[in-house]
Amino acid sequence: MSAEPSSQSPWQAATITRIERRTPRVTSFWFRPSRPFTHLAGQHVDVRLTAPDGYQARRSYSIASAPGAGTAIELAIERLDDGEVSPFFHDVAAVGDEIELRGPLGGHFIWEESDGGPILLVGGGSGVVPLMAMVRHRTLRNTAVPVALVFSARVWDEVIFRDELIGLDDRLDGFNLVLTLTREPARRPSDYSRRVDARMMAQAIERLPTAPRLTYVCGSNDFVSAAADALIDAGIPAEIVRTERYGV
Ligand SMILES: Cc1cc2nc3c(=O)[nH]c(=O)nc-3n(C[C@H](O)[C@H](O)[C@H](O)COP(=O)(O)OP(=O)(O)OC[C@H]3O[C@@H](n4cnc5c(N)ncnc54)[C@H](O)[C@@H]3O)c2cc1C
């Protein structure tokens, strides 16, 4: 799915500089734009593929990297076997290839250090990607803003950025990771083995020193609807819930 067009961000060539498998279904691709740009945590880019006959397909992908983390931006793309664009990246794209992209895009689903906290992040599957940019931004800026991330995945091996997230959780510096697996038992004492619900959200909020100032929810349509309802049932005012929907 492609988000809104932006006349501010023209299409440009970007070179794939690195590819790294994250989980069996998700691979990270680093793109170095020919005209470098600065993004904010939570923003995305559009990519455009053009077939030899001129047919074009466009999709949006969130930026996983922290702002200012380097000249190449990381996109973490989940393979949908019956999809059009994501299998291309998984099966065909190689280091050195040029892809068209434009961005950064999106002005609502962003978190800057000056927005403060505490913040509660809720991600389902690849919906964790823009939240990862926020977590990395917090780390890179070395701020003490309290953050709780509730991350729902089907199984342990599908927890994207797992080692990095657990490493940050282990620092006990105000970042709290809550993993919830929907098809496997929980592996860590503080984690869950069910779909997100209001009780889980209430317990995540209790991990923060005070009520969240902002919450961010990202994932599939169904996940975002369920998680946003759970947040509201847990007492979070709708005005502070920001959502990003990936589509189907
Ligand atoms: C702002 C934003 C950020 C995003 N960030 C990420 C990200 O970081 N990582 C990520 O992996 N994805 C992200 N996405 C999703 C991404 O844009 C694509 O939607 C995704 O990669 C699937 O594209 P595809 O071409 O592979 O699949 P598509 O060809 O678009 O198909 C997607 C699914 O829809 C089904 N489908 C297709 N057409 C129909 C139809 N007519 N009726 C019913 N079902 C249909 C297909 O069977 C498939 O399962 C983001 C989306 C948005 C809007």
Query: What residue owns the CA closest to ligand 1's atom 10?
Result: 77
Token pair for residue 227?
A: 């998680």
Query: Which residue in 239, 177, 233, 197 sits closest to 214, CA to CA?
Result: 239
Widest pairwise Cα distance in the chain: 57
In this structure, what CATH number is given to the domain that contains residue 75?
2.40.30.10
Q: Which of 50, 82, 105 is the last residue of a domain?
A: 105
On whether both 176 and 211 belong to a single domain, the answer is: yes
User: Of 175, 102, 177, 187, which Cα lies nearest the Cα of 143?
Assistant: 175
Which pLDDT band, with edges at 50, 70 and 90, does 1 fall under? low
Token code pair at residue 246: 């990936």
Closest by alpha carbon to 106, among 45, 196, 19, 59?
A: 45
Higher pLDDT, 3 or 172: 172
Q: State in Å: Cα 34 to ligand 1 middle.
A: 26
Q: Looking at the structure, tell me whether residues 73 and 32 fall in a common domain.
A: yes
The residue type of 100 is: E
pLDDT of residue 44: 98
| Ligand 1 pocket mutation, candidates 59, 89, 160, criterion most atoms within 8 A of CB | 59
Domain count, the chain: 2
SS3 label, residue 244: strand
Asked whether residue 130 falls in the same domain as residue 216, the answer is yes
**What pTM does this model have?**
0.95
Note whether residue 228 is domain-resident.
yes
Cα of 186 vs centre of ligand 1, distance in Å, is 28
- On whether both 143 and 237 belong to a single domain, the answer is yes
Query: Which residue's C-alpha comes closest to atom 44 of ligand 1?
Result: 248
Query: Which residue's CA lies nearest to atom 40 of ligand 1?
Result: 248
* CATH number where 200 lies: 3.40.50.80
* Dist. CA 18–CA 203, nearest whole Å: 38
State the pairing for strand pair 119-124/56-62.
Answer: unpaired
- The residue nearest atom 18 of ligand 1, judged by CA position, is 1
pLDDT of 82 > 60? The answer is yes
Q: Please give the backbone phi and psi of residue 242, each rounded to the nearest 5 degrees, phi first.
A: -105, 135
Domain assignment present for 1: no
Residue 3 scores a pLDDT above 60: no
> Does residue 6 have a pLDDT over 60?
no
Report the C-alpha gap between 46 and 79 in whole angstroms: 17
Task: Tell me which residue of 85, 83, 216, 223 sits closest to 75, measured CA to CA.
Answer: 85
Domain final residue, candidates 105, 137, 168:
105
CA of 235 to the centre of ligand 1 (A): 32
Q: In the prediction, which pLDDT does 70 show?
A: 87
Is there a single domain that holds both residue 86 and residue 123? Answer: no
First and final C-alpha spacing in the chain? 9
Q: pLDDT digits over 33-79, tens only?
A: 999 999 999 999 999 999 999 999 999 999 999 999 888 999 999 99
Q: Which atom of ligand 1 is nearest to the CA of 3?
A: 53
Range of the domain at 61: 6-105
Examine the pLDDT at 149 and tell me if it is beyond 80.
yes
> Ligand 1 center to residue 21 CA distance, Å?
19
Beta bridge partners of 32: 15
Distance 166 CA to ligand 1 centre (A): 28
- 90 part of a folded domain: yes
Same domain? 139 vs 236 = yes
DSSP 8-class letter at 192: B
In whole angstroms, what is the distance from residue 37 CA to residue 60 CA?
A: 17
Look at residue 118 and tell me if it is in a domain.
Answer: yes
Ligand 1 nearest atom to the CA of residue 106, by list position: 1
Last residue of a domain, one of 105, 123, 150: 105
pLDDT at 4 over 90: no
| pLDDT for res 10 | 93
Mean per-residue pLDDT for 171-176?
97
Residues 117, 22 share a domain: no
Q: Which residues lie with the beta carbon below 6 Å from any ligand 1 atom?
A: 1, 3, 44, 59-62, 76-78, 80, 82-86, 126, 129, 244, 246-248
- For residues 59 and 133, state if they share a domain: no
Predicted confidence band of residue 247 (pLDDT cuts 50, 70, 90): confident
Share of the chain above pLDDT 90, in %: 94
pLDDT at residue 30, as a whole number: 98
In-domain check, residue 25: yes
- Kindly state whether residue 160 falls inside one of the protein's structural domains: yes
Is there a contact between 152 and 125 (Cβ–Cβ < 8 Å)?
yes
Query: Given the CA of residue 63, which atom of ligand 1 is nearest to it?
Result: 8
54: left (phi over 0), alpha (psi -120 to 50) or beta: left
pLDDT value, residue 106? 95
Residue 146 CA to ligand 1 center (angstroms) comes to 32
Average pLDDT over the chain, rounded to an integer: 95
47 and 142 belong to one structural domain: no
pLDDT at res. 181? 98
